[in-house]
């Protein structure tokens, strides 16, 4: 641990990891019924916890005074703030469709009818959330996940100063975060089939391969995007974000108009 | 409480939304060829909507309209514009006043205004899904934003053509009740307008040597 | 007889257009003049039938009443006048008399006038839209006919803004039809009769939206502020006969479209809302035009702003709730067309004689042009409501209507703004016409390089009014082998160098063309007639049209175009 850093330098990766472990309690991962602690937070609560984790990691990046890490932290915070309205509007869509903001209820609603999946509000919200996932997990076209060029890094640069076990927690945590976001996208928006609806161990265990298969399918899509597009220049990233925002707002408005008839 | 719509209506809704999204796309497209391709997409969506209306209401004549609209809007209009682009060198769409994110935000506010107006008037349509009229009006207003904020002749012309697309989508609400002659007359008018626009764009290009509308500031007061 | 006249109105301009396309040159000119005069005569022939309240119809797409005849007359008269004027106008420049130019010009003129003259006679809001869209497209190409950079700019702005406005108007039309479909529950024809038949059951909110969209959209073509911005450019850069048609006829038929929406809306949502909407636009137009008129430098642009002013007066007139105001509005539309035609024709003569449109460079018009000078002066005074001409009578009726409906304040505002406009116009025009012709001043000498270099080419880097002078000489460059170009004219810039330097100030006294003067005389005579004593049948026509607009016909609600009570 560097001399000038505070204990937060070591604590932040641990705290972030802890946050990432809490969020799966709130979202439908393997089951279509809420887990015992599932009511302690709704989708907004999940969002808060994820943002807290990101905030802590960004703080840790500023601890040592290295320019590259601070660059990453400030960029991550800025673009994170720009993404927030989009996330909020996606949450609004969930809320409008189910009159609650529990991700479980949304998943149930999608599960119950196929026509629902094709409703334009739902499709737009799903696409908007997909773009948010691209941005939050640091993939093309926002950032090169496996690149080493510091000037283009946003999320990757925050962790440049850590090493050893702390770095392991950070990397593992970011993989968990990616998996969480994939799960939300799959289980809440796009394909909530295969979730177990009973508490028997057998059906829950059989939900695991279903989830893994779906996540791998999604991973293939992300890999395709990774290889087909190039990274956007930094000042064009707001264009990407505003496109996601437009989709999210339109999802709300169109649902409101269509559902109101 | 939410009521899921039947699958055909939601398909029609998705297609209508595609029209609006294509208009937003034209607003932010940096290249003129991508604007033209987005116009093609938009026209395809409108044609698809015409076919859906014909299928759900059993109007045979409307398929003629669909074919005519497809030929004119997806094939002829882009060909005319592309031939002009072939003469000119540049492919970059200009916009002087605002950058893309701000323009998109303005367009979003404007389209929200359109949605709210239609909703407040409780306008109902017999033939199209309920959001479609609101979407059509919103797309019209976004086309206005394109014409206002873009400063080259191709973008402005594409903005006008997408305006016509959006209004013809709105006119599908009365498609079942008004003779198809009217719709065909609109298409004919669009054809004439395309010819005139094409000629005037050529005149502008020959006169000022550029596709940008920046030189057009002699006439004042 | 009625059928024959309607067939003539619909058919003759098309025949003239075909003749122009096929032959060009002198034959095209003759065909156009004949077409114009015959169309005007046919419109005059319809006065009697229209005044008696007969419903003119021919097939499912043609339908007219007294209101239609009034507006057709406007277009017919200007068609005839512009056709005669064009013959003289095109003869002034060798570039303009080429076979190619005349072919396209007369083709455009005939189609433009055909589209305008049938607007009042087609059946249905949708067909009105279609025909006005045709006029937009054709007139935009005509505005670009001169081939200069400013006319290309004006044409682009015109077609863009006018098409946007028509897009809004189309949306309004669609909403009106949608309301009709919802109210009648089944299929609706495109004509007036079906829509007006269910007018009692239409949804007020939809019609309110449709009316506002129609006023905004068609108001763009009519020249109502704040959507008038294309008008000064297009009217000043077009060839003069086309400017006259744009100002006099096109604004009128756009107003006709608004009036049809007015008729529908007053039944559904009451007249008060409609009046308020038109009042707002009218006051804004009149105010803006009056203020702009005080600072104009270009004579045709000044007359364009005067058109905006008169359209503002017309809109304000519609907002007064007295029948005499409505009659005044109709008379104003007709008289304005004649007076504006004369004004533009005179401005065109001066421009051809002195080779410039800048009013600061023009002087001594009265002395140099023994006919056009005084006629132009008279036209300007007529536009400012000089008795005993037509516009005085119509504006008097409008103000009287305002006082009758106890809108004294508005009437007073109207008078003040009209006086302001009069100040602006007559200041410039009197200087232009009555100051003694000067020697060419020093700046003009500098401009024509006495060493014989082609004058415009040597000074293309000077971005000031001298360049505008250059462009007035130079018509267009050769569009090499380009068949789709609007104008293919030989370079005229060389001819400028052949003019001795002092010529611009020492123009010789005398008219340049009788054909350019004759329409002016005819129009002034018509204005005198309208002012002094309106002929009986014409008065019947006006009163019939007024009651159609007013909705009061024999005490019961009148349904236009169906004749039903």
Closest residue by Cα to residue C135 from B193, A82, B174: B193
Ranges of beta strands (E only) in chain A are none
Q: In this complex, do B197 and C159 lie within 8 Å of one another by their Cβ atoms?
A: yes
Q: What is the pLDDT of residues B18-67, one digit of tens each?
A: 999 999 999 888 888 888 999 999 999 988 888 887 777 766 777 888 88
**3-state secondary structure string across C342-380:** HHHHHHHHHHHHHCCCEHHHCCCHHHHCCCHHHHHHHHH
How many domains does the structure of chain B reveal? Answer: 1
Q: What is the pLDDT of residues C343-353, one digit of tens each?
A: 999 988 888 88
Residue B63 located in a structural domain: yes
Q: In this complex, do B108 and A246 lie within 8 Å of one another by their Cβ atoms?
A: yes
Chain C, 418 to 457: residues with Cβ < 8 Å from chain B are none
DSSP characters over C233-294: HHHHHS-HHHHHHIIIIIHHHHHHHHHHHHHHHHHHH-HHHHHHHHHHHHHHHHHHHHHHHT
Contact partners for chain C, using 3 or more CB pairs closer than 8 A, are B
DSSP characters over C390-455: HHHHHHHHHHHHHHHTT-HHHHHHHHHHHHHHHHHHHHHHHHHHHSPPPPPPHHHHHHS-TT---H
Whether the per-residue pLDDT at A33 is higher than 80: the answer is: no
How many CB pairs (< 8 A) connect A and B? Answer: 82
pLDDT more than 70, % of chain A? 96
Contact C433, C376 (CB under 8 A): yes
ipTM: 0.91
Closest residue by Cα to residue C105 from C117, C91, C116, C118: C91
C-alpha angle with apex C459: C454 to C464, nearest 5 degrees? Answer: 140
Which residues of chain C have a pLDDT value below 50? 439-505, 554-558, 560-565
Contact A194, A211 (CB under 8 A): yes
DSSP state of C325: H
Whether the per-residue pLDDT at B91 is higher than 90: the answer is: no
Q: In this complex, do A120 and B7 lie within 8 Å of one another by their Cβ atoms?
A: no
Closest residue by Cα to residue C510 from C379, C374, C367, C375: C367
Which of B14, B100, B118 is facing A239, going by the closest CB pair? B100
Torsion of CA C522, C525, C526, C531, to 10 degrees: 160
Provide the sign of the torsion angle of the four alpha carbons C126, B183, C76, C528, taken in this order. positive
Provide the sign of the torsion angle of the four alpha carbons C539, C540, C541, C543, taken in this order. positive
Which of B104, B115, B129 is facing A246, going by the closest CB pair? B104
* Better-scored residue on pLDDT, A9 or C563: A9
Contact partners for chain A, using 3 or more CB pairs closer than 8 A, are B
The pLDDT of residue C484 is 33
Chain C, 472 to 531: residues with Cβ < 8 Å from chain B are 479, 484-486
Which of C157, C174, C182 is facing B216, going by the closest CB pair? C157
Q: Which residue of C has its CA nearest to B190?
A: C133
For helices C323-354 and C514-532, the axis angle rounded to 10 degrees is: 160
DSSP state of C120: G
Q: In this complex, do C156 and B204 lie within 8 Å of one another by their Cβ atoms?
A: yes
Mean pLDDT of B162-174: 85
Contacts B117 to C, Cβ<8 Å:
209
Which of C141, C174, C206 is facing B170, going by the closest CB pair? C174
3-state helix, strand, coil in chain A (%, to 5): 75, 0, 25
Contacts of B96 (CB under 8 A, 6+ apart): B151, B214
Residue B218 located in a structural domain: no
Q: Token pair of C90, please?
A: 């095109």
- pLDDT band (50, 70, 90) for residue A245: very high
DSSP characters over B36-101: HHHHHHHHHHHHHHHHHHHHHHT-STHHHHHHHHIIIIIIIHHHHHHHHHHHSS--BPP--SS-HH
Contacts C178 to B, Cβ<8 Å:
123, 125, 173-174
Q: Is A162 helix (H, G, I), strand (E, B) or coil?
A: coil
Q: Token pair of C413, please?
A: 């505002």
Taking CA atoms, C15 is separated from A141, C9, C100, in Å, by 62, 11, 19
Instruction: Find which of A52-66, A107-121, C300-314 is predicted with most confidence, using mean pLDDT.
Output: C300-314
C-alpha–C-alpha distance, residues C323 and C549, integer Å: 9
C-alpha–C-alpha distance, residues A15 and A23, integer Å: 13
Which helix H or strand E contains C63, and what residues bound it?
strand C63-64
Q: Is B152 helix (H, G, I), strand (E, B) or coil?
A: strand
Q: What is the pLDDT of residues B106-126, one digit of tens each?
A: 999 999 998 888 887 776 665
Contact C450, C498 (CB under 8 A): no
pLDDT more than 90, % of chain B? 20
Contacts A253 to B, Cβ<8 Å:
112, 115
Taking CA atoms, C192 is separated from C84, C115, C167, C248, C264, in Å, by 36, 19, 21, 26, 9
Torsion of CA C319, C325, C331, C332, to 10 degrees: -50
- pLDDT band (50, 70, 90) for residue B174: low
Taking CA atoms, A238 is separated from A81, A164, B110, C14, in Å, by 11, 35, 20, 56
Burial B31-60 (b: 16+ CB within 10 A, else e): ebeebbbbbbbbbbbbbbbbbbbbeeeebe
HSE-CB at C541 with a 13 A cutoff on CA atoms is 26
Mean pLDDT of A156-169: 87
Q: What is the pLDDT of residues C278-324, one digit of tens each?
A: 999 999 999 999 999 888 888 899 999 999 999 999 999 999 988 89
Interface test with C, best of B62, B148, B180, B203 (most C CBs within 10 A): B203
Instruction: Find which of A9-13, A105-109, B191-195 is predicted with most confidence, using mean pLDDT.
Output: A9-13
Residue B139 located in a structural domain: yes
Residue B215 located in a structural domain: no
Contact C164, C220 (CB under 8 A): yes
C-alpha–C-alpha distance, residues C32 and C82, integer Å: 10
Which helix H or strand E contains C553, and what residues bound it?
strand C552-553
pTM above 0.95, yes or no: no
Residue B213 located in a structural domain: no
Q: In this complex, do C156 and B153 lie within 8 Å of one another by their Cβ atoms?
A: yes
Which of C164, C206, C295 is facing B160, going by the closest CB pair? C164
The pLDDT of residue C443 is 40
Q: Is C555 helix (H, G, I), strand (E, B) or coil?
A: coil
Contacts B2 to A, Cβ<8 Å:
96-99, 109, 116, 259
Contacts B29 to A, Cβ<8 Å:
none
C-alpha–C-alpha distance, residues C294 and C291, integer Å: 6
Torsion of CA C22, C23, C27, C29, to 10 degrees: 70
- pLDDT band (50, 70, 90) for residue B127: low
Q: Token pair of C293, please?
A: 């008129």
Residue whose token pair is 């599932």: A38
Residue B190 located in a structural domain: yes
C-alpha–C-alpha distance, residues B59 and C489, integer Å: 52
**Å between B16 CA and nearest CA of chain C:** 17
Is the Cβ of C216 closer than 8 Å to some Cβ of chain B? no
Mean pLDDT of B139-163: 91
Residue spans per domain, chain C: 1-123, 140-438+510-557
């Amino acid at each position: 641990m560097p001399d000038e850093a505070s204990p937060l330098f070591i604590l932040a990766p641990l705290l972030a990891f802890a946050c990432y472990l809490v969020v799966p309690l709130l979202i439908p991962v393997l089951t279509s019924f809420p887990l015992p602690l599932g009511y302690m937070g709704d989708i907004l609560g999940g969002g808060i916890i994820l943002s807290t984790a990101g905030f802590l990691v960004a703080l840790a990046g500023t601890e040592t005074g290295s320019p590259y890490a601070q660059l990453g932290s400030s960029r991550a915070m800025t673009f994170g703030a720009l993404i927030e309205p989009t996330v909020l509007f996606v949450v609004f869509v969930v809320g409008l469709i189910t009159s609650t903001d529990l991700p479980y209820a949304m998943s149930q609603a999608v599960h119950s009818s196929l026509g629902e999946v094709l409703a334009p509000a739902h499709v737009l919200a799903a696409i908007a959330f997909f773009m948010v996932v691209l941005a939050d997990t640091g993939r093309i076209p926002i950032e090169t996940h496996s690149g080493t060029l510091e000037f283009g890094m946003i999320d990757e640069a925050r962790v440049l100063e850590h090493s050893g076990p702390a770095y392991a927690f950070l990397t593992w945590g970011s993989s968990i975060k990616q998996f969480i976001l994939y799960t939300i996208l799959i289980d809440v928006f796009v394909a909530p089939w295969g979730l177990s609806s009973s508490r028997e161990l057998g059906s829950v265990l059989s939900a695991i391969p279903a989830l893994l298969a779906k996540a791998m399918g999604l991973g293939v899509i992300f890999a395709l995007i990774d290889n087909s597009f190039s990274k956007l220049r930094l000042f064009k990233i707001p264009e990407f974000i505003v496109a996601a925002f437009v989709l999210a707002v339109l999802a709300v408005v169109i649902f409101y108009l269509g559902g109101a008839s | 409480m939410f009521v899921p719509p039947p699958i055909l209506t939601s398909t029609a809704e998705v297609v209508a939304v595609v029209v609006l999204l294509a208009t937003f796309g034209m607003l932010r497209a940096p290249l003129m060829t991508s604007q033209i391709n987005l116009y093609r997409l938009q026209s395809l969506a409108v044609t698809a909507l015409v076919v859906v209306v014909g299928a759900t209401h059993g109007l045979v004549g409307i398929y003629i309209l669909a074919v005519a609209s497809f030929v004119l809007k997806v094939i002829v209009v882009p060909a005319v514009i592309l031939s002009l682009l072939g003469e000119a060198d540049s492919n970059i769409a200009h916009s002087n006043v605002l950058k893309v994110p701000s323009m998109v935000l303005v367009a979003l506010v404007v389209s929200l205004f359109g949605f709210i107006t239609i909703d407040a008037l409780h306008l109902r349509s017999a033939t199209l899904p309920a959001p479609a009229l609101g979407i059509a009006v919103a797309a019209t207003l976004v086309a206005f934003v394109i014409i206002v904020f873009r400063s080259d002749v191709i973008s402005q012309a594409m903005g006008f053509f997408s305006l016509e697309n959006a209004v013809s989508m709105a006119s599908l609400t009365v498609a079942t009740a008004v003779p198809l002659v009217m719709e065909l007359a609109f298409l004919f008018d669009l054809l004439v307008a395309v010819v005139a626009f094409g000629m005037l764009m050529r005149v502008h290009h020959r006169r000022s040597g550029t596709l940008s509308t920046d030189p057009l500031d002699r006439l004042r007061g | 007889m009625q059928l024959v006249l309607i067939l003539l109105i619909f058919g003759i301009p098309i025949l003239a257009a075909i003749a122009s396309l096929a032959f060009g040159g002198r034959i095209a000119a003759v065909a156009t003049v004949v077409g114009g005069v015959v169309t005007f005569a046919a419109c005059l022939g319809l006065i009697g039938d229209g005044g008696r309240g007969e419903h003119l119809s021919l097939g499912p797409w043609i339908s007219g009443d007294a209101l239609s005849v009034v507006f057709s007359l406007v277009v017919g008269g200007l068609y005839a006048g512009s056709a005669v004027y064009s013959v003289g106008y095109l003869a002034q420049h060798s570039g303009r008399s080429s076979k190619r130019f005349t072919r396209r010009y007369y083709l455009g003129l005939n189609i433009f006038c055909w589209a305008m003259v049938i607007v009042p006679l087609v059946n249905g809001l949708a067909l009105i839209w279609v025909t006005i869209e045709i006029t937009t497209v054709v007139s935009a190409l005509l505005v670009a006919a001169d081939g200069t950079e400013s006319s290309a700019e004006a044409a682009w702005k015109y077609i863009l803004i006018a098409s946007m406005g028509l897009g809004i108007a189309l949306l309004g039309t669609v909403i009106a039809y949608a309301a009709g479909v919802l109210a009648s529950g089944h299929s609706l024809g495109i004509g007036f009769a079906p829509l007006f038949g269910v007018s009692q059951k239409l949804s007020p909110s939809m019609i309110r939206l449709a009316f506002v969209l129609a006023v905004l959209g068609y108001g763009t073509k009519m020249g109502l502020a704040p959507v008038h911005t294309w008008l000064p450019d297009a009217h000043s850069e077009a060839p003069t006969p086309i400017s006259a048609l744009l100002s006099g006829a096109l604004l009128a038929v756009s107003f006709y479209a608004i009036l049809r929406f007015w008729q529908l809306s007053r039944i559904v949502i009451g007249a008060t809302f409609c009046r308020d909407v038109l009042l707002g636009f009218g006051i804004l137009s009149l105010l803006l035009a009056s203020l702009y008129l005080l600072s104009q430098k270009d004579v045709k642009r000044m007359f364009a702003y005067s058109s905006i002013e008169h359209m503002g007066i017309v809109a304000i007139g519609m907002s007064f709730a007295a029948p005499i105001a409505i009659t005044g509005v109709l008379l104003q539309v007709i008289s304005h067309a004649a007076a504006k035609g004369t004004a533009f024709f005179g401005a065109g003569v001066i421009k051809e004689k002195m080779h410039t449109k800048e009013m600061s460079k023009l002087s001594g018009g009265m002395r140099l042009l023994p006919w056009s000078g005084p006629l132009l002066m008279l036209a300007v005074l007529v536009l400012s409501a000089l008795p005993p001409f037509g516009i005085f009578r119509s504006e008097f009726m409008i103000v009287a209507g305002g006082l009758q409906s106890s809108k004294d304040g508005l009437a007073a505002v109207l008078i003040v703004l009209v006086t302001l406009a009069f100040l602006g116009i007559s200041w410039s025009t009197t200087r232009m016409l009555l100051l003694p012709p000067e020697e060419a001043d020093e700046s003009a000498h500098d401009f024509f390089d006495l060493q014989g270099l082609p004058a415009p080419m040597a000074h293309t880097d000077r971005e000031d009014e001298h360049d505008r002078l250059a462009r007035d000489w130079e018509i267009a460059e050769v569009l090499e082998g380009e068949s789709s170009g609007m104008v293919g004219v030989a370079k005229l810039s060389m001819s400028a160098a052949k003019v001795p330097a002092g010529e611009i100030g020492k123009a010789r006294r005398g008219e340049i063309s009788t054909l350019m003067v004759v329409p002016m005389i005819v129009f002034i005579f018509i204005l005198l007639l309208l002012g002094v004593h309106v002929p009986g049948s014409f008065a019947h026509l006006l009163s019939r049209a007024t009651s159609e607009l007013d909705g009061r016909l024999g005490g019961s609600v009148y349904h236009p175009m169906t004749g039903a009570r």
